[in-house]
Every structure is written in C-alpha cells, then in structure tokens.
C-alpha cells in the first residue's frame, strides 16, 4: 500500500520554510513583493500557502486548483512556471512546495 502513496518529501529539503513568529495565514512580508507577480501567480501562491502542510508541501492538482481559484488550468500552469522562475515555489509532479520567504527576497 505504501507504494501508492505519493512521495511526501519536500522537493528541496534544504529549503523547507519555517514559520516566523509574526506568521498570519500567509507571511506578511509577501506584501512587499506582490508587485513582482501577476494576479494569477498571486492567486496560486496564496492558495498554496493555505493548502500547504508544515513543510510547505501540497499535492493539489492543477485542474482542482484552477476550479478553486477561478482560473483556467493553463493559467495555473503559467502561474506555476512564473513562481518557479521567481523562486517562490519548487515543484516535482505532483508536489508543490512553498519556499521560505528568504528564497525570493532578492
């Protein structure tokens, strides 16, 4: 049965987020970098923050995310690529990992 379970190890175990003391539902420091993201990237990133486990990982399918946030599946895929390029998430099908804030504080 364990072979059927998805690999729950973080995509990048060296970059597991730690929740800061001031953590709300999403790290408030994100407000200072939102201008670098498209609206679709913001929607996906916020959804992933809400869906993530303590390691920042979640297994939501692109089609399901699209329905939940009101996007087309192709828009979710483009948003994922943008967030990957900008260092906000790591991805290994089917696992998303929200990266620590410091990863995109450039």
Task: Spell out the domain ranges in the chain.
Answer: 12-104
Look at residue 42 in the predicted model and tell me its pLDDT: 96
According to CATH, what is the number of the domain 12-104? Answer: 1.10.10.10
Look at residue 99 in the predicted model and tell me its pLDDT: 92
Chain centroid, CA 22 distance in Å: 19
Query: pLDDT tens-digit profile of 18-42?
Result: 766 655 557 778 889 999 999 999 9
Look at residue 20 in the predicted model and tell me its pLDDT: 66
Work out the number of other CB atoms within 10 angstroms of the CB of residue 75: 20
Work out the number of other CB atoms within 10 angstroms of the CB of residue 98: 26
Cα distance between residue 28 and residue 10, in whole Å: 23
* pLDDT band, very low/low/confident/very high, at 101 (cuts 50, 70, 90): confident
Cα distance between residue 1 and residue 76, in whole Å: 31
């Amino acid at each position: 049965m364990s072979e059927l379970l998805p690999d729950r190890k973080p995509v990048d175990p060296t970059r597991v987020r730690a929740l800061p003391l001031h953590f709300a539902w999403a790290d408030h420091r994100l407000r200072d970098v939102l201008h670098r993201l498209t609206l679709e990237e913001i929607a996906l990133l916020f959804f992933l923050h809400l869906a993530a486990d303590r390691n920042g990982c979640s297994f939501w399918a692109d089609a399901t995310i699209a329905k939940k946030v009101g996007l087309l599946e192709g828009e979710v895929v483009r948003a994922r690529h943008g967030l990957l390029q900008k260092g906000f998430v790591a991805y290994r099908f089917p696992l998303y990992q929200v990266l620590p804030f410091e990863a995109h504080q450039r």
